[in-house]
Amino acid sequence: MKFIKPKNNNADNVDWIVSERVQAIVKTYVEYTQYSESEVVDLFLLNLLKDKDFLLN
């Protein structure tokens, strides 16, 4: 897995519902990395593009 390094500020607001467990994980990672919640989620999800079997590749 690739860990978060760059910032990407080209984003739109979205309204998603995630579990409390995921919220807690993101919150803890935000505190660790000093990135915003949006940045952590955005950069983490971009790692899905590295899945060789994913259709967008």
Q: pTM of the entire structure?
A: 0.69
> Residue 5 pLDDT more than 70?
no
Q: What pLDDT digit, counting tens, does each position of 10-47 carry?
A: 777 788 899 999 999 999 999 999 999 988 998 899 88
How many C-beta atoms surround the C-beta of residue 40 within 10 A?
A: 18
Q: Which residue has the higher pLDDT, 9 or 12?
A: 12
pLDDT of the residue at 12: 77
Q: What is the CA radius of gyration of the chain?
A: 12
Q: What's the CA gap between 52 and 6, in Å, rounded?
A: 22
